[in-house]
Structure 1
Amino acid sequence: MTDDAKEAARARLRRAAARVKKHEDERKELAAAIIAARQADLKPSEIQEDVPYDRNHVGRILKAAGLTHPKGKRDA
């Protein structure tokens, strides 16, 4: 492989890595917004209406944040 081809490959890697990092940052921001919405007393079903995630994924995000209640253990 020529030096030009190697440099082009490395440049492509850097661009792709930057896009993935940006995507990860955006995903983390959405998770934080989901958590804030739940803390503002939005129901998970209401949150689901506004995000591109299904209810199971919303539930996993809330569970990781400690914002779920086992069935039958809800505070009024």
Structure 2
Amino acid sequence: MTDDAAKDAAMARLRRAAARVRKHEEERNELAAAIIEARRTGNRPTEIQDEVPYDRNHVGRILKNAGLTKPKGARAGS
């Protein structure tokens, strides 16, 4: 394989990998939007986490970023 052919092959591989990452990001954003919608329509976080491949902490972070969590009381020592 010549240098030019190797460079072309490497760039083609790079483009394919970048496209997969973009697709993955789109899918993650879609799942986050579905989690937010499920919560807004009254589903409990425990019901949501049973349906998604995320643990409860990650579901909580998504809901917190969307402003859908209630703040807990003052922490001890605060």
TM-score by length of 1: 0.91
Deviating beyond 6 angstroms after TM superposition, the runs of 4 or more aligned structure 1 residues are: none
2:11 is the alignment partner of 1:10: yes
User: Alpha-carbon deviations, 1:28-66, whole Å to 9, x = none?
Assistant: 000000000000100000000000000000000000000
Identity across matched positions, percent: 74
Report deviation, 1:70: 1.6
User: For 2:68, what is the secondary structure of its paired residue?
Assistant: coil
Structure 1: tracts of 5 or more residues without a match = none
Structure 2: tracts of 5 or more residues without a match = 74-78
Specify the structure having the higher radius of gyration (Cα).
Answer: 2
Report deviation, 1:71: 2.8
Q: What value does the CA root-mean-square deviation take over the aligned residues?
A: 1.0
Which residue of 1 is the match for residue 66 of structure 2? Answer: 65
Give the Cα–Cα distance (whole angstroms) in 2 for the partners of residues 16 and 70 of structure 1: 40
TM-score by length of 2: 0.89
Which residue of 1 is the match for residue 76 of structure 2? Answer: none
Matches within 5 A, 1:25-36: 25-36=26-37
